[in-house]
Amino acid sequence: MMHTRTSALLFSVTAILLLFASATAAGGQENDYFNRGYEKHLQGDIKAAMKDYSSAIEINPRFAMAYQMRGAVWQRMKMYDKAINDYSMVVVFGETYFKAVGYYNRGIVKNMAGDFFGAIADFNEALNIDKRMVAAYFHRGIAKSRTGDSFGRIQDFREAARLGDVNAEKWLNTYYPTWKQPVASALPQTN
């Protein structure tokens, strides 16, 4: 369920970014390749999409959105090192909002690859740029739980739920029904 949710979120964030990018993009051969790649991606032909995204990057090595989408393809193919590299290029070349998404996506892949501390660092960077990035709180909470930081997980889930994340709220309602109370009383008591 979480992998499907993450993929759907990634695609939703990407679609929003694409609308922004298409409104501001100048014409050019790299955009033609990118648009073809995106169409193929939507149709599920990720290998052909990968080739078109790569062609767009060859023409314009600073094309953050092409790195973003190629990173999504690498991620889907479970080629995590390559996805991390492409998301790193989004961080380097992207405008501020793209950087936040690049950090977030790189954090997701690091979480998937088992680098939980690296994932936390990337989610921190995403949240430094965009404090309302609900999914970054949720996934940072997951990474924290995998490092043994249960308190950190609860705090991140609380913030995600406060910002509207239904899954974080469900989890909190199930395991910490007093989560809406002040922090000290919402946590389980240890003897």
Q: Are 186 and 157 in contact (CB under 8 A)?
A: no
Cα separation, 13 vs 21, in Å, equals 12
**For 111-120, how does the pLDDT look when each residue is reduced to its tens digit (9 = 90+)?**
999 999 999 9
- CA pair distance 83, 92, nearest whole angstrom: 14
**pLDDT over 90 percentage in the chain:** 79
* Domain membership flag for residue 25: no
The CATH number for 85's domain is: 1.25.40.10
Decide if 29 is inside a domain: no
CB 137 within 8 A of CB 160: yes
Q: Residue 127 pLDDT > 80, yes or no?
A: yes
pLDDT over 80 (residue 188): no
Task: Give a yes or no: residue 13 inside a domain.
Answer: no
Identify the pLDDT of residue 147: 98
16 in any annotated domain: no
User: CB under 8 Å to 66, separation ≥6 — which residues?
Assistant: 30, 33, 34, 37, 53, 56, 57, 60
Number of domains, the chain: 1
Output the 3-class SS for 15-46.
Answer: HHHHHHHHHHCCCCHHHHHHHHHHHHHHCCCH
- The pLDDT of residue 152 is 97
Model confidence pLDDT, tens digit, residues 13-25: 554 444 444 433 4
In which domain, by residue range, is 67 found?
A: 62-176
Return the pLDDT at 181: 84
pLDDT bin (cut points 50, 70, 90) of residue 182 is: confident
- Residue 15 in any domain: the answer is no
Is residue 39 a part of any domain in this protein?
no
* 54 domain residue, yes or no: no
Per the domain annotation, does 99 fall within a domain? yes
